[in-house]
Amino acid sequence: MTAVNALHASGFCGLSAQEPSSGQVLDIDAIRMRLPHRDPFLFVASAAIHGDDVIHGRAHWPRTHPIIAGHFPNMGIVPGVCQLEAMAQLAGVLIGETNDHNSELVGVLGAVRKALFKAPLWPDQDLQMICRLRRLGDAGYLVNGEGSSTGGLVVTAEFILALRSRDAFVQSSRI
């Protein structure tokens, strides 16, 4: 049984990454209110919240994106680390919503427990993502995510987002 099939069999991912969006839909302005990221490192282009623990979203890297230009020049491919970051950002949008998006807490990538890259993601392809979050007390969230594109499943991952104070980032950026 593949990791993705096991994830679905466990019921932990109740939605397919290819399933059409429904729920509370967020545009890029609403996403920016919930995340500290900005271009060129803001990867989530749209999101739809499905309750307190599931979020569906889309990321897109055009061929002209600076990251693509430097990653395998003349044979662009979206870096796997950017796909993981996009899923972490998507989960962060839900954390921002759950914490009333005016909170002093942000989710930061604390650990990547598993990551499987099933197929390449090419520039100008959308990455349709689904993340399901489980609260780990006051420390953060366990996130199970997957991303698909026109060719099918591209990436699956399990990672931890730790909750940190926004003030800690402001102070450390001044050092």
- Find out whether 142 and 134 touch, Cβ atoms under 8 Å: yes
Q: Which of 50, 60, 71, 101 is catalytic?
A: 71
Cβ within 8 Å of residue 161, ≥6 positions away: 88, 91, 92, 95, 107, 108, 109, 110, 133, 140, 141, 143
Q: Judge whether 8 counts as a catalytic residue.
A: no
Q: Which residues are catalytic?
A: 71
